[in-house]
Amino acid sequence: MSSLLARARAAAPPVVFLLPMLLVFGLFSWWPIVRSFVMSVQQTNLVTDPVFVGLDNFRAVLDDPLLATAVQNTLWFALLALVIGYPVPLVLAVIMSDLRRARGLYSLLAYLPVVVPPAVAVLLWRFFYDAEPTGVFNSVLGWVGLGPVPWLEDPSWAMPSLVIEATWAAAGGTVIIYLAALVSVPPELYDAAEVDGAGVLSKVWHVTLPHLRGIMLITLILQIIGTSQVFLEPYLFTDGGPDNATLTVLLLVYDYAFANTTGGDYGKATALSLMLAGALALMSVVYFRVTRRWSE
Amino acid sequence: MTALARQTPDVAPEPEPQLAAPAGRRRRRRRTEGETRTITSAFERRRAGVRFSRAVLNGALLVFLLVVCLGPILWLAKSAITPTQDTLRQPLALWPHGVDWANLRTAWVDIDLKLYFWNTVVIAAGSWAVQMVVAVTGGYVLAVLRPRGGRIIYGLVLATMFVPAVVLLVPLYLTVLDLPFTHWNLVNTYWGAFLPAGASAFNVALVKRFFDNLPREIIDAARVDGCGDFRLFLYVVLPMSRPVLGVVSVFAVLAAWKDFVWPLVVLPDPAKQPLSVRLPRLAAVTELDVVLAALLISCALPIAFFLVFQRLFLRGGLEGAVKG
Amino acid sequence: MRIHHRRLSALATIASLAAVSVLAAACGSSDDDNESSGKVTITVEGWRPGDEQGTIDAVNKQAEAFMKENPDIVVKPVEWEWNAETFATQLAGGQLPTTFRVPFTDTKGLAERQQIADVTDDVNALPYAEDFNPSVLAAAQGTDGKIYGLPTDVYGVGLHYNRDLFEQAGLDPDQPPTTWDEVEADAKAIADKTDAAGYVQMSTNNTGGWMLTTLTYALGGRMENEDGTEASIDNDATKQGLEMLQTMRWVDDSMGSNTNFEWGTINEAFAAGKIGMYMSGSDVYNALVTTNQVDPDSYGLAALPLSDSPDAGILGGGSVAAVSAKASPAEQEAAVKWNDFYRERKNYDPDAAVADAEVLKASDQPIGTPTLPIFDQDTWQQVQDAIKPYVNVPRDQMTSFTDGVFDQQLVPEPAAHTQEVYGILDSVVQKVLTDENADIDSLLADANDKAQALLG
């Protein structure tokens, strides 16, 4: 008995230190994860008792004609973000890495948009995107004889407009990551390349970029995972419009749960969340494999 | 929760490939820090052609960064004190009809921005405190005390990194609505905003890795001196952890300031909402010049915070991850 | 060492206990303390986000008067506005005020899902319970025939226009358009001669569907059959309306380049002088004044032009002051009493209407904005006569509406899945306004199929 007590006392401190983490993760991470599995096979309106409905929620989501639209839009956003947003930080970082004293100032500027709260950034850009010829961007385009562009007002322009803003808001973070990786390029490699008579561009191509390959792949996969969860931009800029041109998967989840004025459909919302999580898990596996390979 | 911006914290611990490099490599790096050699060599920089194109490229980049990154914020600062009609008719002119300082006051007082500003400060402070407590105690147990089952717990914590936060939106909301066992409803309380922020696997991993790398000799020596778990934590481990605590802190505060979706859902009462959530609603019913003034006020603090702690953001973030 | 250890664990214990108790205090509902003193506390819908201080003062003053009359009830007015985007969250979170107003369109759905309380007995206890216009009361009834709230305001859609822009465009502000052809012509004149858009129509957050339905009714069509079992979106009137929008948007270029508007944002843009004409409920002037500070001199309200079709009519809707299903019977009773006091009595009893006008006048709030009868037309007329001396809204700039509206057929909103059908129609409106080559026939056929799937 007394030995038990002693053992309990000895074990107490780790438990005390573990408690905050176990409680917080248990309540706000692990339990909701378990719960989303349970809810995806239930129908509930939070007032009456939930009813088990098997896979009906999944079926209802798959039958929803909006699902295809949302998936397409999300992929389209991810692709555009790749084309527009992916090369920008890389180019910036490579040029900046060759700076010496001014590098601090440059990275300060590049990172600045990252600290602007996204809601503020979107409201500001919504004004920039004014479709009238007197709008901010359209005025600038007018100087060079272009436009006016119907930024958010046209189903085919809306998504690129969202991606441009999202790139502005996020590129700085990626620049910093690349810069850190570039610091570790072994100088001997440059020395060796110079001995072989390589010019500046050739060094970038044969030394700098290959050195970044690992981190580039990681940021690529993380970007795809990040963009497939895009919510804030379509929600605040266009609310999924015009004509559902910016309705993304996550916006559809949100709409199922929170946008029906006579009560949310939480079953459908969690079912779709789980399907999205499944797709992302697949990507995470790829990500893990890749990082492991590159760290070996 | 900007989709792309989310990478920042996620990525930071990942430069591992280079960082956890073998000792030989690390020594080499230390040597390079003295030399600071980059893509172009000192010799090349003296060549006229290279010097010219470098100057052009760097100059162009500087202009690009000034216009693209700083420009919108300067424009916002200008328009926040410009009357609405001027901003609408000539958005790019510089005060064609004078400056209207009253906008800032109107935004702060009349549309009650001061309340939402304060709410945001409270949410940021609370989220920071919860994240610190969870990450530091958790990291300490897992890295230093290493109880049985610790690896499993750490695995479960890390696993949540791969469950996207937004996917949990609905079940998390329903959990907060009716907390297990206690049946407390945290909706419309700040606890509903603070506590879920603590469940950040990124923070725990960052702190744990840092603690893992603390010199074991010091910890063992403290143990030999009869130091218990609490004393070890308070007087040995914490004082050595300032770098990582700083990094976790700045990112925790910034993330709380930026968060939108979760406070939108968990704080439906306008009197409790932070700026991010409140601004879009106010923007729909408020005159443009006042909205722009409100936007400026809302990003002033994070920008100031960034300028003050820029080392932590730009370098410390990665070094913390490196060392940890 | 040991001392330290103990002190620290004691500290930790105290800290966690403190946290728990703070948490408990934060979560416990605040009306506990009132229950014990025998008082009932209710929160009630007070003012809209962005409302001026005068509006807030007026509500608070009314609340004080009510509490004097009912010493057992504590009323707390809060900022609240029905919003399609946030309503479900608040509903699920139990964060709605005890009583709040929902659109006519939602009463049946909410009642069916047991989200709002059956207050039949409380309503029947009111002196005027027998006198409701039956078609208005129907909007507050569930499919089970029980009453789920008080219908407190009824609007008909009107055409709101900016008199200044009419003048600048060389049009007579006292002669607003009376046909849709004239609307189109006037819109073009305004767009050509001023910076503003001539005519704008809401398009997002279900308001696009609401307004397309309005336009359809005005041209003699319907979106659903009367019992809400068959969708009829694919009809000639809707098609005609969309074609008109298409012409104004892409041929005349009289709708401006920004098309993303809902109820609140279109009000803001109108008050800022950026819109010549738009359709909204006849009572929107109140919001234009209290939320958007519109210039009264520039405001005009016209009756909605109707086509020659015998079915042409104006869309009529309104709000029901409903009570949360989570409220206790005592709270429900108190809530109905408050709604009677604050919202309903003034529609029935000329003395109450005068008393209400007195309070509004003291806080400089708009009085006399056109509404439609909730009881019979005589009652409505008596109330209007009683408050005549208090009227401070520019009634002579609204005569086109007030003279014409009683000759117009009032058509209720689609009977079943109204908001969802509106959501489907939002896309149609957005497509027409943002894509020059939108194929209206296929859009309507498609929308009809989607709606029919809902109506089942």
**Measured between CB atoms, does A205 come within 8 Å of chain B?**
no
Work out the mean pLDDT of chain B and round it to a whole number. 81
Q: Over the stretch B3-36, which tens digit does the pLDDT of each residue have?
A: 333 333 333 333 333 333 334 444 444 444 445 6
**CATH number, domain C156-316+403-455, options 3.40.190.10, 3.60.10.10, 3.40.50.2300, 3.40.50.2020:** 3.40.190.10
Beta strands (DSSP E) in C324-415 are: 410-412
Task: Answer yes or no: is A164 within a domain.
Answer: yes
Structure confidence by residue, pLDDT tens digits, A75-87: 999 999 988 888 9
Q: Does A195 touch chain B (CB under 8 A)?
A: no
Determine the Cα–Cα distance for residues B192 and B163; give it in Å rounded to an integer: 20
To which H or E segment does residue B138 belong? helix B113-140
**pLDDT beyond 50 at B274:** yes
Distance from CA of B58 to the nearest CA of A (A): 7
Chain C residues lying within 8 Å of B190, measured CB to CB: 26
Q: Which residue has the higher pLDDT, B48 or B81?
A: B81
Class of domain C32-153+318-362: alpha beta
How high is the pLDDT of residue B20? 35
Q: Taking CB atoms and an 8 Å cutoff, what residues of chain C touch B177?
A: 92-94
Q: Hey, what amino acid is at B40? A: T
Q: When comparing pLDDT for B90 and C213, which is higher?
A: C213
Contact B231 C9 (CB under 8 A): no
- Specify the CATH number for the domain of residue A133: 1.10.3720.10
CB atoms within 10 A of CB C5: 14
Q: State the pLDDT confidence band at B317, using cuts at 50, 70 and 90.
A: very low
State the Cα–Cα distance between residues C456 and C444, nearest whole angstrom: 18
Report residue C283 as tokens. Answer: 């009572």
pLDDT of residue A2: 54
How many independent structural domains does chain A possess?
2
Separation CA A94–CA A204 (nearest Å): 8
Best interface-test mutation with B: which of C95, C100, C204, C294 has the largest number of B CBs within 10 A? C95
Same fold, C32-153+318-362 and C156-316+403-455: yes
Q: Is the pLDDT of residue C25 over 70?
A: no
Average pLDDT over residues B47-59: 86
Of all residues in chain B, the one with the smallest CA distance to A198 is B40
Residue-averaged pLDDT of chain A: 86
A46 within a domain of the structure (yes/no): no
| pLDDT of C387 over the 90 cut | yes
What's chain C's length in residues? 456
What confidence score (pLDDT) does residue B321 get?
Answer: 40
Q: Do B73 and A186 touch (CB under 8 A)?
A: no
- Among A15, A16, A27, which would you mutate to test the B interface (most chain B Cβ atoms within 10 Å of its Cβ)? A27
Q: pLDDT value at position C350?
A: 92
Gap between the Cα atoms of A147 and A141, Å rounded? 6
CB atoms within 10 A of CB A197: 7
- Say if residues C205 and C103 touch (Cβ distance below 8 Å): no
Across residues C137-162, what is the average pLDDT? 92
- Identify the pLDDT of residue A189: 86
User: What share of chain B in percent tops pLDDT 70?
Assistant: 84
Structure tokens at B256: 């709380």
| Structure ipTM | 0.86
Q: Is the pLDDT of residue C410 over 90?
A: no
Averaged over B280-289, what is the pLDDT? 84
Please check whether residue A29 lies inside any domain of the structure. yes
- Residues of chain B contacting residue C78, judged by C-beta atoms under 8 Å apart: 269
Residue of A nearest to C107 (CA): A262
Instruction: Name residues 18-77 of chain A within 8 A of B (Cβ).
Output: 18-22, 24-25, 27-33, 35-36, 39, 46
Per-residue pLDDT band for C184 (boundaries 50, 70, 90) equals very high
- Does the structure show a pLDDT above 60 at C143? yes
Mean per-residue pLDDT for C267-278? 92
Using a CB-CB distance cutoff of 8 angstroms, which residues of chain C are in contact with residue A47? 113-115, 325
Predicted confidence at residue B168, as pLDDT, reads: 83
Tell me the shortest Cα–Cα distance from B280 to chain A, in angstroms: 7
From the number of C-beta atoms within 10 Å of its C-beta (0-12, 13-18, 19+), residue B70 rates as: middle
- CB of A279 less than 8 A from some CB of B: no
Q: Is residue A49 part of a domain?
A: no
Residues A29 and A139 placed together within one structural domain of the fold: no
- C147 bridge partner residues: C141
Using an 8 Å CB-CB cutoff, list chain C residues near A152: 260
Does one domain contain both A135 and A15? no
Which residue among B89, B265, B281 sits closest to C89, beta carbon to beta carbon? B265
Residue C116's DSSP bridge partners are C324
Pick from A50-59, A276-285, C244-253, C426-435: least confident: A276-285
Chain C residues with CB under 8 Å of B285 CB are 48-50, 264, 267-268, 291-292
Closest residue on chain A to C326 (Cα): A47
Which pLDDT belongs to residue C167? 96
- Name C202's Cβ contacts closer than 8 Å, sequence gap at least 6: C208, C210, C211, C261, C262, C263, C266, C278, C279, C280
Residue B163 to residue A29, Cβ atoms within 8 A: yes
pLDDT value at position A80? 93
Residues A123 and A180 in one domain: yes
Q: How confident is the model at residue B71 (pLDDT cuts 50, 70, 90)?
A: very high
Which of C84, C110, C203 lies nearest to residue A259, judging by beta carbons?
C84
Say if residue A84 is in the same domain as residue A25: no
Q: Which domains does chain B have, with CATH numbers?
A: 113-323 (1.10.3720.10)
What's the confidence (pLDDT) of residue C101? Answer: 93
**Do A140 and A23 belong to one domain?**
no
Name the band, by pLDDT with cuts 50, 70 and 90, for residue C109. confident
- Lowest model confidence (mean pLDDT) among A146-160, A220-234, C193-207: A220-234
Tell whether the torsion through CA atoms of A122, A127, A132 and A133 is positive or negative. negative
A43's tokens: 């129908």
The answer to whether residue A51 sits within a structural domain is no
A22 & A108 share domain = no
Contacts of C92 in chain B (CB under 8 A): 173-174, 177
- Determine, yes or no, domain membership for A139: yes
- Which of B285, B287, B288, B291 to mutate to probe the C interface, most C CBs <10 Å? B285
User: What confidence score (pLDDT) does residue B319 get?
Assistant: 43
- Looking at the fold, whether A158 and A75 belong to one and the same domain comes out as yes
Among the ranges given (A170-179, B149-158, C26-35, C216-225), the one the predictor scored with the smallest mean pLDDT: C26-35
Q: Are A35 and A81 within one domain?
A: no
Domain that holds residue A33: 2-39
In this structure, what token pair is assigned to residue C5? 């250890």
Residues A168 and A101 reside in one and the same domain: yes
Q: Is B228 within 8 Å of C292 when comparing Cβ atoms?
A: no
Q: Which residues of B86-107 are buried (b: 16+ CB within 10 A; e: fewer)?
A: bbbeebeeeeeeeebeebbebb
Å between C192 CA and nearest CA of chain B: 17
Report CB contact under 8 Å: C115, A45.
yes
Residue A129 and residue A268 share a domain: yes
* B-contacting chains (≥3 CB pairs under 8 Å): A, C
Q: Between chains, do A118 and B29 touch, taking CB under 8 Å as contact?
A: no
Cβ-Cβ contacts under 8 Å, B57 against chain A: 95
pLDDT digit string, tens, across residues C290-303 = 888 889 999 999 99
| A-B C-beta contacts closer than 8 Å | 351
How would you label B25-37 residue by residue, b for 16+ Cβ within 10 Å and e otherwise?
Answer: eeeebeebeeeee
Percent share of chain C, pLDDT over 90? 58
Mean pLDDT in residue range C177-196: 95
Which residues in chain C have their CB less than 8 angstroms from residue B133's CB?
none
Whether residue C155 contacts residue C317, with contact meaning beta carbons closer than 8 Å, is answered with yes
Of A153, A154, A261, the CB nearest to C84: A261
User: Is C24's CB within 8 Å of B228's CB?
Assistant: no
A261 to C427: CB separation less than 8 angstroms, yes or no = no
Biggest CA-to-CA distance, chain A? 88
Q: Do C435 and A243 touch (CB under 8 A)?
A: yes
Instruction: Identify whether residues A194 and A245 lie together within a single domain.
Output: yes
In a domain, A45, yes or no: no
CB-CB contact of C304 with C218 (8 Å): yes
Chain C residue with Cα closest to A130 = C258
Domain ranges, ordered by start, for chain C? 32-153+318-362, 156-316+403-455
Q: Does residue A113 lie within any of the structural domains?
A: yes
- Tell me if C272 and B287 make a contact (CB, 8 A cut-off): yes
